[in-house]
């Protein structure tokens, strides 16, 4: 067995550890360059051609960090062609200055048959041996392959998540909106609770809901419920009728699971906000007025499981100092050391929240819940608040 | 430097809960050419520090404190909204608070300051579980994690965040009072660098003092099981302290209302939490500062000065079996003695 110098062994271990830490593609590319510069020469680069185009990371000695990722979606055809034959590449192709010795080594990063990915590691400088460089090349190739694989999965997950997690609240002139959302810990960012405020004709449609169950399956029904709500809200401006239509629509697709919803229409009237509300089996919205909190008298059946349903709506007029709070039962049913949080604590916090902007109020309620939980597992939590922003 | 009269105008608006005026004062500074990070540090952050002082001195109640904080949040949101913040190719940063940390305003201020400097910032907000950060670091691949901690009792969770970030090779920049003088406690827990203000953090990130990649955080070794014991048995110890308190039948305690008893129970919890944090970073100063702060607060609220000494004695009786623990509690009592 050939003798391995101590510092070579140390480098091999260090690079293996360093590359094992991250699954992120740009950090992986950066780290390879960082390692190469630390051991082999004055500058180094990784050039990767994948489905996203050409990405290149370059660094040289004395530079604080890796130069930022360069994405070049349009690459000269001949470079694409030459990427597969590294011996034809020049220093400028791989982002380095001319100099000797220049070593350009292919990295085998193909993760699936037929994938059009090639990568090269280029090093400018005379440090360390070719054998050592080979070692780094092997580890780098595996790390990039893993990162590419993760990147695909992460992109897919992010796309799904993007369709299911609450979108940022719109900015509505004269309306102050706030929301807080915390999915159950065991899933990542997707859950069965949702809220949204979307335009509906010359009004706004607002909804908060809770799908029975958790995780990906609940999230799928969440997506259907949100879609049905938006469509139904275009057909009718009566919130109770909207819930009726959503019920029919969900029954037609599945009917084995249900959702609870508070849905409403919001219209600005001078300094007042007029809100028409309906509830389908959901905790009633809370109205804060002059330091007193009352429940808005809406009620109705759960949505999506029963043929015979009825919904009772209510209208609320919000004066400038009033606030309307809607929440899912993840709030009141949060289990702490001494049992469930209950609605009383929420009423107390709300009564003490006059004058706060809507976002500050939803965050106070979320804080109340998470402190009560004190690290315990919980259901999804969604909180939505609105008030008039006309001072 | 923003002039004192401007701060006074700003503060008057914050104190009244008048968001519009506060925003107007801050905006005028921007229009006059004061850089955004300075407006954030010298008006918003400075105002918020004042809010904390008013509350501690019992001049303000919790509702007033929340209202003022809400104004600060409004101002940050308004200042952030006026700029067209297209990130340059400066790099990516994740800004986050540790689990249980609810003071999100400092990290919001940092977020605005970094975006202004061209960073692509992912802001995670208040109270973030470490596993959310782990996932996010793989997805985002930032150059650094900026971690905020305002209360030393969150140092345990802060350590989890530091571990998660450094495991992914991402260096950690810390800020906030909870990390101690010059960030000392956070640096003990493996943070790579500390910055005193949002502007300083932004400058530090633009320079070369933070490594591009970092190794996993060095293991923390505890000389004894004092911290584990306190954290594992915390609730039980609080119960024992309450029982001991009722046995002693102190004249003012026997007349406590239900609400006052709940408060006392909370205070015992705080003493044990800060004690554990002090032992965790092996620095008596953490506990000493806490005792001084608690004394200020209780005195401002008319609680008899002997109450806290008695409290510390009770806690010593309940948890004080490890020499280090006894030592820290004695240091706390010494703070009280030096004040009487």
**Residue A69 scores a pLDDT above 50:** no
Q: Report which of residues A21 and A76 the model is more confident about.
A: A21
Across A280-292, b (16+ Cβ under 10 Å) vs e yields: bbbbbbbbbeeee
Closest residue of chain A to B143, computed from CA coordinates = A27
Chain A residues with CB-CB distance to B126 below 8 A: 363, 367
Task: Give me the interface pTM, i.e. the ipTM.
Answer: 0.77
Top mean-pLDDT range of A89-103, B75-89, B286-300:
B286-300
DSSP string, A163-198: HHSPPPPPPBTTEEEEEEEE--TTSSS--SEEEEEE
Q: What is the pLDDT of residue A65?
A: 46
> And the tokens for A73?
């979606």
Contact B66 A353 (CB under 8 A): yes
Q: In the structure, what pLDDT confidence band is assigned to residue B147 with cuts at 50, 70 and 90?
A: very high
Q: In the structure, what pLDDT confidence band is assigned to residue A341 with cuts at 50, 70 and 90?
A: very high
Rounded CA separation B57/B46 (Å): 17
Q: Choose the weakest-confidence range: A125-134, A222-231, B203-212.
A: A125-134
Contact B213 A31 (CB under 8 A): yes
Mean pLDDT of A219-225: 84
Closest residue of chain B to A359, computed from CA coordinates = B70
Write A307-314 long-range contacts (CB < 8 A, 24+).
A307/A251, A309/A243, A309/A244, A309/A247, A309/A280, A311/A239, A311/A240, A311/A243, A311/A244, A311/A278, A311/A279, A311/A280, A312/A240, A312/A278, A312/A279, A313/A238, A313/A239, A313/A240, A313/A276, A313/A277, A313/A278, A314/A276, A314/A277, A314/A278
Mean pLDDT, all residues of chain A: 85
DSSP string, B151-205: SGGGHHHHHHHHHHHHHTT--EEEESGGG-GGGHHHHHTT-SEE-SSHHHHHHHH
Q: Is residue A196 a contact partner of residue A386, using CB atoms and an 8 Å limit?
A: no
- What are the residues of chain A with a beta carbon less than 8 Å away from any beta carbon of chain B? 17-18, 21-27, 30-31, 34, 64-66, 68, 150, 154, 158, 185, 188-189, 337, 352-357, 359-360, 363-364, 367, 370-371, 375, 391
Q: Choose the weakest-confidence range: A168-172, A196-200, A201-205, B45-49.
A: A168-172
**Residue A266 scores a pLDDT above 90:** yes
φ, ψ dihedrals at B275, nearest 5°: -60, -45
Chain B residues with CB-CB distance to A17 below 8 A: 215-216
**Residue A271 scores a pLDDT above 60:** yes
Rounded CA separation B294/B290 (Å): 6
Contact A22 B141 (CB under 8 A): yes
Helix, strand, coil shares, percent, chain A, to 5: 35, 30, 35
Q: Report which of residues B168 and A112 the model is more confident about.
A: B168
Q: What is the pLDDT of residue B307?
A: 85
Closest residue of chain B to A23, computed from CA coordinates = B138
Mean pLDDT of A188-211: 86
φ, ψ dihedrals at A204, nearest 5°: -120, 140
Residue position matching structure tokens 């370059």: A58
Contact B143 A359 (CB under 8 A): no
């Amino acid at each position: 067995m050939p003798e391995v110098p101590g510092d070579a062994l140390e480098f091999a271990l260090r690079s293996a550890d360093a590359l094992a830490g991250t699954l992120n593609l740009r950090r992986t590319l950066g780290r390879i360059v960082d390692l190469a510069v630390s051991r082999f020469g004055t500058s180094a680069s990784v050039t990767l051609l994948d489905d996203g185009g050409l990405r290149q990371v370059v660094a040289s000695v004395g530079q604080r960090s890796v130069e930022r990722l360069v994405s070049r979606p349009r690459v000269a055809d001949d470079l694409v062609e030459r990427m597969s034959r590294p011996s034809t590449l020049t220093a400028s192709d791989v982002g380095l200055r001319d100099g000797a010795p220049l070593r350009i080594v292919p990295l085998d990063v193909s993760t699936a048959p037929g994938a059009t990915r090639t990568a090269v590691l280029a090093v400018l400088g005379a440090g360390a041996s070719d054998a050592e460089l080979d070692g780094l090349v092997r580890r780098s190739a595996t790390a990039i392959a893993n990162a590419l694989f993760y990147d695909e999965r992460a992109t897919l997950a992010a796309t799904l998540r993007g369709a299911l997690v609450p979108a940022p609240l719109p900015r509505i002139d004269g309306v102050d909106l706030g929301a807080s959302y915390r999915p159950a810990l065991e899933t990542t960012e997707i859950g069965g609770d949702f809220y949204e405020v979307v335009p509906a004709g010359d009004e706004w449609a607002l909804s908060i809901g809770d799908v029975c169950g958790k995780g990906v399956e609940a999230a799928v029904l969440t997506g259907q419920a949100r879609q049905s709500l938006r469509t139904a809200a275009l057909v009718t401006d009566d919130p109770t009728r909207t819930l009726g239509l959503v019920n029919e629509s969900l029954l037609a697709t599945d009917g084995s699971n249900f959702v609870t919803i508070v849905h409403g229409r919001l219209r600005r009237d001078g300094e007042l906000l007029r809100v028409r509300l309906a509830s389908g089996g959901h905790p009633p919205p809370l109205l804060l007025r002059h330091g007193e909190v009352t429940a808005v008298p809406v009620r109705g059946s759960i949505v999506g499981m029963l043929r015979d349903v009825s919904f009772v709506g209510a209208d609320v007029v919000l004066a400038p100092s009033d606030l309307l709070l809607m929440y899912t039962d993840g709030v009141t049913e949060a289990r702490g050391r001494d049992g469930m949080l209950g609605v009383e604590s929420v009423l107390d916090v709300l009564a003490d929240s006059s004058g706060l902007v809507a976002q500050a109020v939803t965050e106070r309620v979320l804080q109340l819940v998470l402190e009560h939980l004190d690290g315990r597992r919980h259901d999804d939590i969604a909180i939505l608040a609105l008030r008039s922003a006309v001072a | 430097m923003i002039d004192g009269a401007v701060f006074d105008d700003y503060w008057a608006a914050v104190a009244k809960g008048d968001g519009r005026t506060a925003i107007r004062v801050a905006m005028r500074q921007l229009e006059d050419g004061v850089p955004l990070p300075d407006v954030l540090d010298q008006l918003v952050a400075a105002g918020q520090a004042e809010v904390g002082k008013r509350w501690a001195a019992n001049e303000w109640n919790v509702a007033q404190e929340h209202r003022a904080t809400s104004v600060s949040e409004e101002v940050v949101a308004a200042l952030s909204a006026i700029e067209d913040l297209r990130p340059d190719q400066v790099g990516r940063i994740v800004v986050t608070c540790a689990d249980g940390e609810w003071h999100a305003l400092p990290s919001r201020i940092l977020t605005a300051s970094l975006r202004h400097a061209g960073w692509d910032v992912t802001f995670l907000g208040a109270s973030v579980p470490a596993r959310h950060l782990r996932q996010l670091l793989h997805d985002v691949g930032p150059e650094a994690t900026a971690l905020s901690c305002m209360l030393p009792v969150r140092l345990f969770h802060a350590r989890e965040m530091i571990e998660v970030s450094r495991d992914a090779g991402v260096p950690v920049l810390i800020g906030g009072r909870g990390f101690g003088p010059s960030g000392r406690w956070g640096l003990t827990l493996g943070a790579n660098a500390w910055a005193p203000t949002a502007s300083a953090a932004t400058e530090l990130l633009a320079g070369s003092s933070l490594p591009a990649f970092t190794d996993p955080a060095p293991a923390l070794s505890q000389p004894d099981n004092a911290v584990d014991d306190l954290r594992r048995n915390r609730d039980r110890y609080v119960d024992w302290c309450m029982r001991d308190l009722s046995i002693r039948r102190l004249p003012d305690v026997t007349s406590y209302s239900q609400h006052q008893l709940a408060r006392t129970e909370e205070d015992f919890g705080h003493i044990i939490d800060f004690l554990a944090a002090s032992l965790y970073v092996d620095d008596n100063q953490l506990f000493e500062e806490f005792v001084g702060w608690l004394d200020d607060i209780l005195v401002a609220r008319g609680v008899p000065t002997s109450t806290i000494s008695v409290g510390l004695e009770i806690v010593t009786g309940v948890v004080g079996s490890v020499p280090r623990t006894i030592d820290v509690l004695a240091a706390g009592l010494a703070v009280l003695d030096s004040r009487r």
